[in-house]
Amino acid sequence: MGSTIFINNGGLKMNKKMKSLFFIILSISFLTACNNQTQSKKKEPTTSISKDIKTDNSIENELINENNQEFVDKVKVVNSELAFAVTYNDVNQLMKDSELAVEGVVLSTENYVNIDKATDIGNPLTKLSFKVNHVLKGDSSLEGKKITILEQGGYISAKQLGMKDKFPNLTEKDLDETFLVIPDGHRPSVKGDEFVAFLSSESYFNTGFDFYEFIAVYQSKFEYDKNSQEYIRPSDDFAEMLKKADSLDEKKVIEEEIKIEKEINDDVTELVEET
């Protein structure tokens, strides 16, 4: 899947040419990550994940406490628009395509930046320590245990984006400029989030530890809503879209999307209740 990147809240202080290249680097990073995720080869299934995992290859990751709100307020927000190769509107298809389907809660998060050694450009991810409450598909022995999930989106610095080599005159302050990348405006998970996840242990890069990924970014993630007591997939702001609809036909298309989302949310909620 491809992605286009937009800066929503400021950016590096650089000239027009540098800004253009900055956007291109971000786009390439996400395009490579999404395409490789859909074309990756099968890994051995993950059966257990150790606690407090660390990797020896320091170039591959940077750890940032993203639960620190003071830190979050200082970064620039970047919205990545994703174009999916596969659209999931049916829970049966999610179950079929996933290696593991679980319900549980996020215990902690860390920032993880994977650096492509060929390009020296990073891809921002969020590393989740996730407690499995219920196994809906896959290895039932994981129930009650912790697994690691790498989620698309997270924090990344200008240096990790390869800007140092492109612009040698940038100061260390410029290179330390940090961005929070959010896919289609949906923030990465934080501590305490409870959700259903449809996962795979397939990956296009090595980390030194076992992990799972969502099979279709947020399309395969259903967050628990305490008010409705349902599991709801992140989606567009349909209420706002209906207000802005220019025609009856456009309104009907939006209403059909609302119906599809409600049906799949209901099906996932029922799946958990039956477990």
Structure confidence by residue, pLDDT tens digits, 165-174: 888 888 888 8
Does 83 reside within a domain?
A: yes
Domain that holds residue 132: 2-229
Q: What is the mean pLDDT of residues 118-123?
A: 86
Alpha-helical segments (H) within 73-227:
91-97, 163-166, 172-175
pLDDT band at 83; cut points 50, 70, 90? low
Q: Is the pLDDT of residue 73 over 90?
A: no
CB 188 within 8 A of CB 154: yes
According to the model, what pLDDT value does residue 167 have?
84
pLDDT band at 14; cut points 50, 70, 90? very low
Q: Is the pLDDT of residue 230 over 90?
A: yes
Among the ranges given (1-15, 18-32, 48-62, 154-168), the one the predictor scored with the smallest mean pLDDT: 48-62
Does 260 reside within a domain?
A: no
According to the model, what pLDDT value does residue 13 have?
45
Does 269 reside within a domain?
A: no
| β pairing state of 212-218 and 146-152 | parallel
Token representation of residue 185: 């405006």
> Mean pLDDT highest for which of 24-33, 123-132, 209-218, 231-240?
123-132
Mean pLDDT of the chain: 76
Among the ranges given (27-31, 60-64, 70-74), the one the predictor scored with the smallest mean pLDDT: 60-64
According to the model, what pLDDT value does residue 176 have?
86
Does 123 reside within a domain?
A: yes
Q: Helix %, strand %, coil % for the chain, to 5?
A: 30, 30, 40
According to the model, what pLDDT value does residue 26 have?
52
CB atoms within 10 A of CB 274: 7
According to the model, what pLDDT value does residue 154 have?
92
Q: Residue 113 forms beta bridges with which residues?
A: 124
Does 251 reside within a domain?
A: no
Among the ranges given (43-57, 163-177, 242-256), the one the predictor scored with the smallest mean pLDDT: 43-57
Does 253 reside within a domain?
A: no
Does 261 reside within a domain?
A: no
Does 250 reside within a domain?
A: no
Question: Total domain count for the chain?
Answer: 1
Its pTM surpasses 0.75: no
According to the model, what pLDDT value does residue 44 have?
34
Contacts of 74 (CB under 8 A, 6+ apart): 178
Q: CA-CA distances (angstroms) from residue 141 to 48, 115, 132, 135?
A: 9, 33, 10, 8
CB 78 within 8 A of CB 5: yes
Torsional sign, CA 59, 60, 63, 64: positive
